[in-house]
Structure 1
Amino acid sequence: MIAALGWGLLAASSLVLGALLGVLRGWGDRVVGVVLAFGAGALVASVTFDLVLDGFSLAGAVPVALGLGLGALAFFLADKGVERMGGREGGGSAGTPLALGALLDGIPEQAVLGIGLAAGNGISVSLLVAIFVSNLPEAIGSASDMRAAGRPRRRVLLMWVGVAVVTALATLGGFSLADVVGPSWQAGIQGFAAGALLVMLTDSMIPEATAKAREVAGLATVLGFAVAAGLSAFS
């Protein structure tokens, strides 16, 4: 359990690092877009190899398919709620919508890290890298926007520390949940996380990466996929 929390904190630490980078200096859209595209490619590989295929091996296609549908619907509905609060646009008047947006992305990702540890599979290096990299541009962009709006640096950093702690606790939650449910439920949870991540990638992460990185977005995405797929094969 301590190991699960430690790995969760490591994965979530990029939120704090991104916020720190965002309040210290401005970052061009192209740089953020390239990092975003790389992280998107890494997440696609992790969804494929660490969530869906692993779920198939645990309990077959049916629990994974059910989880995929439920995860996609849950993320879609929750994301619409965050959008109405202004959280996905970076311009909400309070820090809460931005924090909700980051939690919406981070909780299913990191819960799966804990599930893998509880199942005795060890840490998924490819998923860990994908989470770490994909967190950076979101935190950088949001922290930069908040600083530009006049928020004190300390307040911005404290908010992102809080987000990182809560998402890290999701790893612990996944570990605890996997301890008390069978393979079918574990496969369904992995499918749920995969469905949520695929909707996030399609609706938010990849379009934003393409808009910011322009012609190099595809290349960065494939490189991210290749790195994560390689790490998955060797982990």
Structure 2
Amino acid sequence: MLSALLWGLVGSSSLVIGAVAGVVLHVPRRALGLLLGFGAGALVSAISFELADEALHEGGPGALAAGLAAGGLAFYFGDRLIERGTSTPRKERRSAGGGALAFGALLDGLPEQAAIGLSIAAGSGVGLSLVAAVFISNIPESLGSSADMRESGRSARSILGLWAAVGVVTTLASLAGYAVLGDASGWIVGFTQAFAAGALVVMLIDAMVPEAFEKGGRVVGLATLLGYALAVLLSEVVA
């Protein structure tokens, strides 16, 4: 349990690191797009090798299919509810209000972090490539959002407090993934891993990749490939 908590903390700590950077530094728009692309590539690797593959192994094709569908639909409809609640599109939401932003970050982060605890509970050890992908992808998300909120007039204290709270909750999701699913059946474990994979796939295409391309231009594709390649190599090294 302590291991799940510590590794969850490692993964979510980058939310606070990115928030601090967004408040203190002025990161060029193009550089932020490249960071987003790199993080997206790392997540593609984690989805394939740490989540979907493990889900198929633990729960079989049925658990994989059901989890992918449930996770993808959960993110899709949850994200639509956020947009309706704020009356603003996603690309404008970062400066629209702290409550909607926090919920959006949780929607992205909870399945990622729960999967970290789940990988430990399943007896497969720490998925270091998954932790690395979560860590990398969190930084540009919180960095860009914090920079936008700073420009809209929010204080540094409120911005950092918001992201610290999100970091705490997502860290606890790792602990929950471990505690709740430690004795679960293979089907439930596989379904939960596939749920996280499905949510992340929709999040990547619906939000992260378009924003990366908008900010970074066509070269983002190369940054995404680099993130994917490094994550794949990492998964092989630590396997």
| TM-score normalized with structure 2 length | 0.95
Q: 1:91 to 1:8 in 2, by over 3 A?
A: closer
The Cα of 1:202 is off from its aligned counterpart by 0.8
The Cα of 1:234 is off from its aligned counterpart by 2.2
Give the alignment's Cα RMSD to 1 decimal.
1.2
Mind listing any 5+ residue stretches in structure 1 that lack a counterpart? none
Task: Give the distance between the partners of 1:24 and 1:95, measured in 2 at CA.
Answer: 19
The Cα of 1:93 is off from its aligned counterpart by 4.0
Determine the structure 2 residue equivalent to 1:26: 26
Deviation digits for residues 55-112 of structure 1, max 9, x if unmatched?
A: 1111211111110001111110001112222483235543111111111100000100
Task: Give the distance between the partners of 1:91 and 1:79, measured in 2 at CA.
Answer: 13
The equivalences for 1:164-175 within 5 A come to 164-175=167-178
Determine the structure 1 residue equivalent to 2:102: 99
The equivalences for 1:15-164 within 5 A come to 15-84=15-84, 85=86, 86=88, 88=90, 89-164=92-167
Q: 1:142 to 1:87 in 2, by over 3 A?
A: farther
Task: Give the distance between the partners of 1:190 and 1:91, measured in 2 at CA.
Answer: 28
Q: Which amino acid aligns with 2:53?
A: L
- The answer as to 2:173 corresponding to 1:187 is no
The Cα of 1:42 is off from its aligned counterpart by 0.6
Q: Which amino acid aligns with 1:228?
A: A
Aligned residues: 235
Task: Give the distance between the partners of 1:21 and 1:154, measured in 2 at CA.
Answer: 13
Mind listing any 5+ residue stretches in structure 2 that lack a counterpart? none
2:203 pairs, out of 200, 204, 210, with: 200
SS of equivalent to 1:223: helix
The Cα of 1:179 is off from its aligned counterpart by 1.3
Q: Which amino acid aligns with 2:213?
A: T
Q: Which amino acid aligns with 2:56?
A: F
Task: Give the distance between the partners of 1:91 and 1:179, measured in 2 at CA.
Answer: 36
SS of equivalent to 1:215: coil
